Amino acid sequence: MTKIINFKNVTYTINNKVIIDNINLNIKKDGLLVLLGNNGAGKTTILKLMAGILIPTSGTINLSDMYTKQNNRIGFVFQKTIFLDRTVEENLFHALYCSMNAKNKENYIKLIQKELDQINMCHLLHEKAKNLSIGEQQIVSMIRSIIINPCILFCDEPTSNLDDNYKKIVENIIINMANKIKVIMITQDIDQANRLGEEKIVIKNGKLLN
């Protein structure tokens, strides 16, 4: 079984407070992994360590060649969405430009329109991203993360505070992506974890319970 991320004795502390406590973990290449736990368990910290946003205080994190060489683009959906003060189209194009050095604007605009059309949201193309509803913002945030063709997708509680309609849309995007690349998702919803998670890891007080 190919591994994409390996944690060996990983600890992360802030101001002498242990957030992640001596974790050993192997993450396989394919499918959907759900990180499950209560607030303050350390889930987001682990996700950011996996993504390279944070560096461990001690221990090592090893990444496979396919993660570091073949395509080092990662998608990260944060729990709180942040957009440029621009339209949906301009926000998505900015992600493409920064990640893929988009030069043919016409082709990338077509790609953006295609992604929005797949979820019947093309009508939002020229709307200010910051003016969208919470559900619409999260959908656009998801598209922004996957439109760059990442090798791995990290999602930090992507359906929190969404109604059932938008939750279903986000879950379907996650399921579709997990058929193509590795997806690692945080949730506090046990039912959602059981419904979606091919693999589940429970985190409590910075430790893995399974």
Farthest-apart Cα atoms in the chain, separation: 51
Tens digit of each residue's pLDDT (9 = 90 or more) over 191-200: 999 888 778 9
Tens digit of each residue's pLDDT (9 = 90 or more) over 72-86: 688 999 988 889 999
DSSP E strands, 29-67: 32-36, 58-63
Asked if residue 74 lies in contact with residue 155, where contact means CB atoms within 8 angstroms, the answer is: no
Q: The whole model's pTM is what?
A: 0.90
Nearest to 86 by CA among 95, 77, 78: 95
Please tell me whether residue 69 adopts helix, strand or coil conformation: helix
Tens digit of each residue's pLDDT (9 = 90 or more) over 107-154: 888 889 999 998 889 999 999 999 999 999 999 999 999 998 898 999
